[in-house]
Structure 1
Amino acid sequence: MATNTSKLVVIVVLPGSRLLTLAGPADVFSFAQQMLEAESGGHSKGYEVVLASATNKKDLQLNSSARLVAATTVHEIDRKIDTLMLIGARLEEQPDSDQFYHWLTTHAPKIRRIAGVCVATFVLAKAGLLHNRRATTHWERNDDLQRQYPDIMVDTTPFFIKDGNIYTAGGVTSGMDLSLAMVEEDYGRDIALRVARKLVIHLKRPGNQKQFGGLLPGYELVSPLLVQLRPWLLEHLHENISVEEMAAQCNMSARNFARVFLKETTFTPAKFLEKLRVEMARNYLENSALSLEEIAVRCGLGGLVSMRRVFLRHLEISPGTYRSTFRTALHTD
């Protein structure tokens, strides 16, 4: 698809942005622009990428021990914006943050598509752009986003989500996944695939965010009950552990133990135990040469078929695929 006018892509750099979060999408759109121009003999303009500050200051401190001097601020842009992508989140620390929110809500109806990468989802949410929409963010901030904005349908499984003309992406590199999808949306799979090959990344990365996040968030491990019980569980993980046995280790009745456990962890004992088994199996898959069958037995996941079923339920990936994806590069058989 050739066009004579370029699509203006404005990447808004919010305070505290990470270098890769903004550089990845910028490179995706820039490479696409170069390829479109090359194949059309310079007639197709593709994209024009502009890095803009969300504040009145163009000199920005990034979250990577680096500084960036943006080409402009959003307030100085007087052209039609095709794609607006927000990067970063520490906007509230700036004295002129209200000015940006006013600019965003005023201009949003005139912009073809708007995206928030990683925790920039929180900025879109505060601006009211995610009301009653599906959205994602970094898997570590899933609960925070849902708690602060209960009207949003938060799902941190996908790398990115499109709901209408609003797009949200998960962790840092998910911005590249989203940008490639936008290029494919605009100019087709062939151009997007060529950009992906140029950057040596997947056009559509296999898997999802679940594979990167822990199944047992850290705050649940400060439970007094778990602090007492966890070492024993790890030692007996290969056994068929009952709720009664867990309760006995805490000198509690099974009924009271189950009630207190649920209150402190938000999990039933059985659900927690299954998640713990999966987490330990992940560790073996990443860092050992044990066979899948041996890992299944050591972690109390039964046989290979049973472990595969549990992995698919919790991580949406098979144990074998998980190992090939996440096994440490320094490990040798």
Structure 2
Amino acid sequence: MNQEESSAEPLAARQVVIVAMTGHMLLDFAGPADVFSSANQILELAGKKTGYQVRVASPTENRQVTNSVGMEISCASSVLDITGPIDTLLVAGSNGIQHLDDPAYAVFYAWLERAYPHMRRVGSICAGAFVLAKAGLLNGKKATTHWDRSRLLQKNYPLVRVDPNPFYTSDGKVHTSGGVSSGIDLALALVAEDHGRDIAAQVARRLVFYLNRPGFQVQFGNLLPAGDQQHIGGKLRSWLVEHLHEPLDIPRLADHLNMSPRNFTRVFHKQTGISPAKYVEKLRIEAARKRLEETDASLEEIAIQCGLGGLVSMRRTFLRHLMVTPSDYRRAFRTSLTEMMA
């Protein structure tokens, strides 16, 4: 080591602040915090002194936050009191996004807008995307959130380019992640960005987690929302489920509701936002998913039972809607007490 290297000041640890909003799930902030803390241990073993200073902070002066099951959490600090440069700020979202309009958060939103330009990275976990959107940080940017909240995020913040499919997204210095455990995916990606893939892979192995998890959030979500029984799709749904293995063209559907095909098609699209054919196709996929998860029926049998044609046709339809093949879906989501007890 030369004299210049020996006299150089050691690099400061990057300050990572995770803001825990009221109503969050513990994994929202505990998962990413464990990723950065584990990275510190692995970096130290590798003889690297620069890691992370990890803080979990409240968004208000009151350092108490309540999680989704009513657990009171006392944070060591409020984000409003943190001094020194913040390298990475992650907002762990609230299950009840109605909390986000609480007047007590007004100071936090103003602080976030001011502090944002001075941070290297800002991100969100799950519904934390609503916080970033409310502060205007997602305008014009690509973002994701929990698959079940993506439509609401798009509706409430139309300037955000919402993509419900990926586990996490990056757009410039802004990073957003999907449902709950996706915060771990995002944190691992940030560690890889800072210290390389090898360090991130070691962290993932320590946490018994994928470094690059296969699949997309769309595999977990329902293709069709719960139907309103007054809604034309809701009125048809239970009947359709009993007849998925049969031809279901528009004249037959219209006849079941005593409507003309033309009026049926117009009303259906107006109330559901999709065509009758697309609705039936999604309902068939939902039925096939359930059979793949819960039965030992062959893929060919399931394809026929759900009206998806043969195996090739079902595979093509699954890839288009869920970005996974039926066989891979079954391997990922099948739960069997018989297999567990074997």
TM-score of the two chains, using structure 1 as the length reference: 0.95
Asked if structure 1 preserves the Cα contact closer than 8 Å seen for 2:200 and 2:211, the reply is yes
**Equivalent in the alignment of 2:264:** 257
**Equivalent in the alignment of 1:125:** 133
Q: Distance in 1 between matches of 2:39 and 2:278?
A: 46
Q: Distance in 2 between matches of 1:327 and 1:141?
A: 25
**Equivalent in the alignment of 2:19:** 12
Q: Which moved more, 1:261-270 or 1:166-175?
A: 261-270
Q: Which moved more, 1:223-232 or 1:154-163?
A: 223-232
User: Which residue of 195, 202, 220 corresponds with 1:194?
Assistant: 202
User: Which residue of 72, 75, 78 corresponds with 1:67?
Assistant: 72
Structure 2 runs not aligned, ≥5 long = 1-9
Q: Distance in 1 between matches of 2:133 and 2:123?
A: 11
Do residues 278 (structure 1) and 285 (structure 2) align? yes
**Equivalent in the alignment of 1:164:** 172
Could you tell me how far 1:151 is from its partner in structure 2?
Answer: 1.1
Asked if structure 1 preserves the Cα contact closer than 8 Å seen for 2:87 and 2:119, the reply is yes
Do residues 241 (structure 1) and 253 (structure 2) align? no
Could you tell me how far 1:66 is from its partner in structure 2?
Answer: 1.5
**Equivalent in the alignment of 2:325:** 318
Could you tell me how far 1:88 is from its partner in structure 2?
Answer: 2.0
**Structure 2 CA distance for partners of 1:143 and 1:289, relative to 1, 3 Å:** same
**Equivalent in the alignment of 1:85:** 90
3-state SS of the aligned residue for 2:56?
Answer: strand
Number of equivalent positions: 328
User: Which residue of 80, 98, 105 corresponds with 1:97?
Assistant: 105
Asked if structure 2 preserves the Cα contact closer than 8 Å seen for 1:223 and 1:265, the reply is no
Q: Distance in 1 between matches of 2:190 and 2:91?
A: 15
Percent identity over the alignment? 50
Q: Distance in 2 between matches of 1:221 and 1:315?
A: 24
Asked if structure 2 preserves the Cα contact closer than 8 Å seen for 1:55 and 1:94, the reply is no
Could you tell me how far 1:93 is from its partner in structure 2?
Answer: 5.2
3-state SS of the aligned residue for 1:157?
Answer: coil
**Structure 2 CA distance for partners of 1:224 and 1:106, relative to 1, 3 Å:** closer
Could you tell me how far 1:135 is from its partner in structure 2?
Answer: 0.5
TM-score of the two chains, using structure 2 as the length reference: 0.93
Within 5 Å, give how 1:191-230 maps onto structure 2: 191-218=199-226, 220-230=227-237
**Equivalent in the alignment of 1:302:** 309
3-state SS of the aligned residue for 1:139?
Answer: coil
Asked if structure 1 preserves the Cα contact closer than 8 Å seen for 2:100 and 2:131, the reply is no
Q: Which moved more, 1:56-65 or 1:194-203?
A: 56-65
Q: Distance in 1 between matches of 2:228 and 2:100?
A: 31
